[in-house]
Structure 1
Amino acid sequence: MAKLLYAFSCSVDGFIAGPGGDMSWLTPYLGPDPLVEDLIPRIGALLVGRRTFGGDDPHRGGEGEGKAFGGGWEGPQFVLTHHAPATPVPDVTFFGDLTEAVTAAKAAAGEKYVNVLGADVARQCLEAGVLDEVLALPVPVLLGSGVRMLDRPGPAVELEPLAPHWYRVLG
């Protein structure tokens, strides 16, 4: 059965996007990464937040603009939103309910990962107890502000190390 994985790049101070969702800070750091290259074929579906789906693109102006992983991955995407667009988007299904979105994404992913994209969706998955693993890819930059990789009050969540940067969610 598919597992939900929150895989993200973040600044060393814990931001996945700059102020206003700006992703241009990440552009100079995109490039070959064996960990990412190994992960991509193991992803069967994406579970994406609406802000991430319609947000800034670190591949802007390049061949990979508007494509998952800069064009390195293709497949079904499930967007969690209360405001689905009127015009259908190929290979994208919109859901207003987290449980329905997770169920559909896991069914589409089969034995592969559902990669969670977006801090708010990751928070919701964590709070619902459906997030299985975390892959944190730190980038050598300090942003100082922006969208935190996870912004939630409450108790700490224990993680079990599986590999460098890769963790199983315990709590």
Structure 2
Amino acid sequence: MARLLYSVTMSLDGFIAGPGGDMSWLTPYLGPNPYVDELIGEIGSLLVGNRTFRGDDPYKDTPGEGQAFGGGWSGPQVVLTHRVPATPWPGVTFVSDFAEAVRQARAAAGDKYVNVLGADVARQCLAAGVLDEVLTCIAPVLLGDGVRLFAQPGGRTVGLERIHLSGVPLASLLRYRVLPAG
């Protein structure tokens, strides 16, 4: 069965998007990353939040604009949204039910990863106990405000076990396995 992996680049102070969902801060850190490039080949589908899907694109004004991983990946995408559009998008399935979105993304991924994109969808995956791993690329920048990597009103502790640590010129990479709640 496909495993769910939340992959994200964040600032050193814990933000994955700037104020208002701004992603332009990320553009200078999209350079070569052999670890991520290899991982992209292990992704079978995307499970994406609606704000992430329709939001700001760090690849804006580049040849990869509007494409997953700047054009480095293509395949089925499942977008979790409260408002399913009337007009279909090629390669994109819009689903309003969380459990159904996870089911469809897993089915589409086969034995590869479902790459979770979007802080709120990742939080829902953690709450449902279906998130298997977290890969965080830490960019050498402080944003001061924006969308947090993980925010849970009232707080919540999630145990993680490190399975990879490395660095490239533009980021430090940390990969964790999500531990069962207990």
Q: Shorter-chain TM-score: which interval?
A: over 0.9
Match for residue 90 of structure 1?
90
Separation in 1, partners of 2:151, 2:106: 24
Separation in 1, partners of 2:164, 2:61: 34
For the pair 1:155 / 2:164, whether they are aligned, the reply is no
Q: Deviation of residue 155 (structure 1)?
A: 2.7
Match for residue 33 of structure 1?
33
Separation in 2, partners of 1:2, 1:111: 5
Q: Percent identity?
A: 68
Secondary structure of the equivalent of 1:126?
A: helix
Secondary structure of the equivalent of 2:70?
A: helix
Q: What's the TM-score once normalised by structure 1's chain length?
A: 0.98
Match for residue 71 of structure 1?
71
Which consecutive unaligned segments of at least 5 residues does structure 2 have? 166-173
Q: What's the TM-score once normalised by structure 2's chain length?
A: 0.92
Secondary structure of the equivalent of 2:41?
A: helix
Separation in 1, partners of 2:133, 2:98: 17
Q: Deviation of residue 108 (structure 1)?
A: 0.7
Secondary structure of the equivalent of 1:107?
A: helix
Secondary structure of the equivalent of 1:31?
A: coil
Number of residue pairs aligned between Structure 1 and Structure 2: 171
Which consecutive unaligned segments of at least 5 residues does structure 1 have? none
Runs of 4+ displaced beyond 6 Å:
none
Q: How does 1:1-171 map to 2 (within 5 A)?
A: 1-153=1-153, 154-164=155-165, 165-170=174-179, 171=181
Q: Deviation of residue 73 (structure 1)?
A: 0.2
Separation in 2, partners of 1:143, 1:35: 25
Q: Deviation of residue 122 (structure 1)?
A: 0.3
